[in-house]
Chain A
């Protein structure tokens, strides 16, 4: 993680530091102090996300009065992706405003195959000439726990009509992305991940116990089957 050099730090009403402006003019939000738990889980998560090429906001660290904070970049024009914003893709012409719309599908797959970070996380629409889908940089449980806990498609809101409409525009391509994702999630990735874990010798056994079920062939085929069934009903 990059160490930030602040230009100014703004404070909230509670007089706690919130947003930080770096010398390069980038804004970062201070999220939480980095503990050992946060450090390891964040490292693993960003390693996994980088492997699947899923975009998140940039994260960095910053130390203030002895405590090191985890920060993530805040960009201009970010809105939550929700069923409520159904109007953004109600027809094909509007849907074409999304750059690489399959990113959302990849994010859903990542959540389903690696349900380690406490369930469903926020997805964002990044405004620009074309809208982009971005995954939240911080897991929903704030690094509090690390447990294997499978989630269903309905928990991910994928079965709602709005999401179904979103995916129906690219339903011809989705099986290809599904295949690509599972080919990336192979033995080699498992070995890589194991190697990364070995960098933290005191906690590796405990963490590996949670990660290994994700690579269980039975679980993988189960997730693949649910997604295949989902694609058939689009």
Chain B
């Protein structure tokens, strides 16, 4: 199948017959891709009525999602014509004469992969798409969400130690605490700064001395840095009698 591209226009006003190109659809040799230009959509936001703009954006975004879904789905043997073919776009471009307009497909003499797609975006819309960096959630976020789940409904969560035991001098926050089961759990990420890890370990030691008849768990994510791994093995050697160290996965599988 030939590679081709089609530009999606928005007709803002019937009087002026003005068209603003907002998106680019490329398909052919490699799965269909749609690029939606945020900058141009912002421009539309100022020009169109708010509700109309939202509706049109919803329209375009759902179209983009559908195309993405189609590309990422596992494809079986192709018995029928693909949905995003040149013929289909020919039909749609003739049909669409209102607000959202598909241009006639233009064939491209290249293998339509990610790079060609990016190149066409630059040539046609004049934009360099920025790759969004996925921010990895820190362990403490996941850990807090995990503790707040219904699973630990019998436990007291996120509580200061002086509220449980009156005589303690330095209050330390306990992530999970159960008086009946005699369990205290705290989370600790060994990849954070050594000072932070040292302080938190010292806190735990203090807690162990105070809650002597309690079983103490320390939950950690597998450290990715070398320093973190060293600190962990060191802590395990020194404190394994008092504190039971567990990875997050092990703790998840553990039933109290």
Interface residues of A (CB under 8 A from B): 8, 10, 19, 21, 27, 29, 74, 76-80, 82, 84-88, 90, 94, 97, 124-125, 127-129, 131
Within 8 Å by CB of B55, from A10, A19, A77, lies: A77
Q: Which residue in chain A gives the minimum CB-CB distance to B89?
A: A84
Q: Tell me if B121 counts as interface (CB < 8 A to partner A).
A: no
* Chain B residues numbered 14-38 whose CB sits less than 8 Å from any CB in chain A: 14-17
Q: Tell me if B59 counts as interface (CB < 8 A to partner A).
A: yes
| A124 pairs with B59, CB closer than 8 A | no
* Chain B residues numbered 31-68 whose CB sits less than 8 Å from any CB in chain A: 48-49, 51-52, 54-56, 58-59, 62-63, 65-66
| A79 pairs with B62, CB closer than 8 A | no
| B14 pairs with A87, CB closer than 8 A | no
Q: Tell me if B116 counts as interface (CB < 8 A to partner A).
A: no
Interface residues as binary, B87-107 with A (CB distance below 8 Å gives 1, 0 otherwise): 010001001111110000000
| A127 pairs with B59, CB closer than 8 A | yes
Q: What separation, in Å, do the CA atoms of A90 and B69 have in the docked complex?
A: 12
| B15 pairs with A78, CB closer than 8 A | no
Shortest distance in angstroms between A217's beta carbon and chain B's nearest beta carbon? 37
Within 8 Å by CB of A82, from B48, B56, B95, lies: B95
What are 11 contact pairs spanning A and B, CB under 8 A? A10-B17, A29-B14, A77-B49, A78-B98, A78-B99, A79-B59, A82-B92, A86-B66, A87-B63, A127-B51, A127-B99
Chain A residues within 8 Å of B48, by CB: 76-77
Chain B residues within 8 Å of A29, by CB: 14
Within 8 Å by CB of B65, from A19, A87, A127, A131, lies: A87
Known: A27-B14, A79-B99. A88 touches B62 (CB 8 A): yes
* Chain B residues numbered 135-174 whose CB sits less than 8 Å from any CB in chain A: none
| B52 pairs with A80, CB closer than 8 A | no
Q: What separation, in Å, do the CA atoms of A79 and B56 have in the docked complex?
A: 9
Q: What separation, in Å, do the CA atoms of A27 and B58 have in the docked complex?
A: 25
| A76 pairs with B92, CB closer than 8 A | no
Shortest distance in angstroms between A84's beta carbon and chain B's nearest beta carbon? 5
Chain B residues within 8 Å of A127, by CB: 51-52, 55-56, 59, 99
Interface residues of B (CB under 8 A from A): 14-17, 48-49, 51-52, 54-56, 58-59, 62-63, 65-66, 88, 92, 95-100
Q: What separation, in Å, do the CA atoms of A82 and B51 have in the docked complex?
A: 22
Chain A residues within 8 Å of B55, by CB: 77, 97, 127-129, 131
Chain A residues within 8 Å of B49, by CB: 76-77
Known: A77-B99, A80-B98, A86-B66. A128 touches B52 (CB 8 A): yes
| A10 pairs with B15, CB closer than 8 A | yes
Question: A78-B99, A79-B99 given. 6 additional CB < 8 A pairs?
Answer: A10-B17, A19-B14, A77-B48, A79-B59, A84-B88, A129-B54
| B63 pairs with A124, CB closer than 8 A | no
Chain B residues within 8 Å of A8, by CB: 15
Within 8 Å by CB of B95, from A19, A80, A88, lies: A80
Chain B residues within 8 Å of A124, by CB: 98
| A77 pairs with B52, CB closer than 8 A | yes
Q: What separation, in Å, do the CA atoms of A107 and B97 have in the docked complex?
A: 21
Q: Which residue in chain B gives the minimum CB-CB distance to A128?
A: B51
| A84 pairs with B15, CB closer than 8 A | no
Most B CB contacts (10 A, CB to CB) among A8, A29, A87 go to: A87
| A90 pairs with B59, CB closer than 8 A | no
Q: What separation, in Å, do the CA atoms of A19 and B13 have in the docked complex?
A: 10
Chain B residues within 8 Å of A128, by CB: 51-52, 55
Q: What separation, in Å, do the CA atoms of A19 and B54 have in the docked complex?
A: 25
The 10 closest A-B pairs by CB, nearest first: A127-B55, A87-B66, A77-B52, A87-B62, A78-B98, A74-B14, A129-B51, A127-B52, A19-B14, A79-B100
Shortest distance in angstroms between B9's beta carbon and chain A's nearest beta carbon? 12
Most A CB contacts (10 A, CB to CB) among B15, B48, B92 go to: B15
Shortest distance in angstroms between B180's beta carbon and chain A's nearest beta carbon? 43
Chain B residues within 8 Å of A84, by CB: 88, 92, 95
